[in-house]
Amino acid sequence: MSRLVVVSNRVAPIDEGKQAAGGLAVAVLAALKKTGGIWFGWSGAVVEEESQSEPRRTDVGRLTYATLDLSRRDFEEYYNGFANQTLWPLFHYRVGLIEVSRRTREGYKRVNGYFAEKLAPLLQPDDMVWVHDYHLIPFGEELRQRGCTQRMGFFLHTPFPAPEILVALPNHRELIRELCAYDLVGFHTQMDLRSFVDYIRQELDGEVEDRGPEGGMLIHAFGRTLLARAFPISIDTDNLVSIAETAVRSRHTERLKESLVGRRLIIGVDRLDYSKGLPQRFQAFEQLLAAYPEHCNRVSFLQVAPPSREDVPEYIAIKRELSELSGRINGRFAEFDWVPIRYLNKSFGRRVLAGFYRTAHVGLVTPLRDGMNLVAKEYVACQDADDPGVLVLSTFAGAARELDSALIVNPFDIEAVADALQRALTMPLPERKERHAAMMRILRSHDIGWWRESYVDALTRAPYG
Ligand code: F6P
């Protein structure tokens, strides 16, 4: 079995106790433990001197963590700049927010080159390299330019935009050429895959062979052949079910229940990001209270939103907007013994969240655009199958393609989201059970193990040329 080398912007903390809940960390570590290998990426540290150092290596069994620091200039141009002020808004269909700058595009290329320069000497001929996310699109081409001939795969954790959106990026062709340097390119949904294929056909006149939903699309472009396929990421379903069963008796969950004093709970958990539709969600809850006043003093909405990318102006603006909005809505509806919105700018561990999800009668997941959204899947897995809560899910989250037994909403339609909340809060038990069982069947057959194994299996079969 070939050794696996995983490359991602962020590398999970080496200390297992501090490792995050996230799907990527869970999936990648399981794969790396099986094959042995390297997890390579940014250390998370920003240093004052130029980025030139050698990777810091830590061996844990057969797994090596190799991380690099970033200089302040690289952090600004690569991470805050091109990755998060150009590609992130572009890939989330927010063309009006993109910053176009040759300086940050060059910084993005430079950091990808620097990372490739430092990884290349660590590679063995039979390794498989699996690169993750929009920060590292040029990474494979940079490795190839340094003579690396290993099998290389890329997985995009965000949506991939329709060609009409993508062409707003100057030099979009260069970005797609970089993507085509991989042997395998994975997306979350068939829709993302279709957008990529449409670009190849419309903008490049490239050739595409359809090998069916499980087989993907064989792409011939830029003189190379690669496979593009949808692999919807998922969660460690069985593990989360058992965590939720015990977490429900934990001190945090007990405290949450006590604080509700019999009221019902709606929960939202998101990074504080403008793609998550949080202002519209707050307004939908306000509309619920206005249109269905029987819920006043009977329902609380808990929104957990840890701050993210705090140097980027749009993230500073959304944080301010949400503080104002939650303050205004609470001022309008609160009673001396009830606050309608509990808005928290902090994060909680996996176990605490599992107990919170199980306590909540409604999971409210309404991004304006999202690659997958694992909170939707986690909320469903954490429910009590005998008395499950209801998921209200945006049609613009990748998860809506699989979880179609949720109440699917258009997050821009605030009145419709309020009506869906009303329907969720009054849904009879048999319907709740039926919808939950249908979603659990999907989460059990397509869990994180399925995602990892189907991707690694497809990469093992490369090259496709
Ligand atoms: O959704 C894309 C993504 O890269 C996720 O995989 C990850 O959870 C998140 O963004 C992390 O963002 P950041 O590293 O900027 O905090």
Task: Report percent pLDDT > 70 for the chain.
Answer: 97
Nearest-CA residue for ligand 1 atom 15 is 309
Q: Cα–Cα distances in Å, from 352 out to 253, 257, 300?
A: 7, 13, 18
Q: Which residues are catalytic?
A: 157, 370
> For residue 252, how far is its CA from the centre of ligand 1 (angstroms)?
26
For residue 16, name the pLDDT band (cuts at 50, 70, 90): low
Write down the pLDDT at residue 223: 96
The three-state DSSP-derived secondary structure of 44-112 is EEEECCCCCCCCEEEEECCEEEEEEEEEHHHHHHHHHHHHHHHHHHHHCCCHHHCCCCHHHHHHHHHHH
Nearest-CA residue for ligand 1 atom 5 is 157
Write down the pLDDT at residue 20: 56
Pocket of ligand 1 (CB under 6 A): 10, 22, 24, 133, 157-158, 308-309, 371
pTM: 0.96
**Positive or negative: CA dihedral 277, 283, 287, 293:** positive
> What is the rounded distance in angstroms from the CA atom of residue 354 to the CA atom of residue 387?
16
Which ligand 1 atom sits closest to the C-alpha of 135? 4
Write down the pLDDT at residue 1: 81
**Mean pLDDT over residues 5-9, rounded?**
96
> For the segment 262-304, what is each residue's pLDDT rounded down to a tens digit?
999 999 999 999 999 999 999 999 999 999 999 999 999 999 9
Average pLDDT, the chain: 95
- Residue whose entry in the numeric block shows the structure tokens 């496709």: 464
> For the segment 356-392, what is each residue's pLDDT rounded down to a tens digit?
999 999 999 999 999 999 999 999 999 999 999 999 9
**Mean pLDDT over residues 78-89, rounded?**
98
Give the H/E segment covering residue 26.
Answer: helix 23-35
Which ligand 1 atom sits closest to the C-alpha of 22? 8
Q: Cα–Cα distances in Å, from 208 out to 55, 219, 221, 335?
A: 39, 5, 9, 61
> For the segment 319-355, what is each residue's pLDDT rounded down to a tens digit?
999 999 999 999 999 999 999 999 999 999 999 999 9
> For the segment 412-456, what is each residue's pLDDT rounded down to a tens digit?
999 999 999 999 999 999 999 999 999 999 999 999 999 999 999
Q: 369-407 as b/e, with b when 16 or more CB fall inside 10 Å?
A: bbbbbbbbbbbbbbbeeeebbbbbbbebbbbbebbebbb
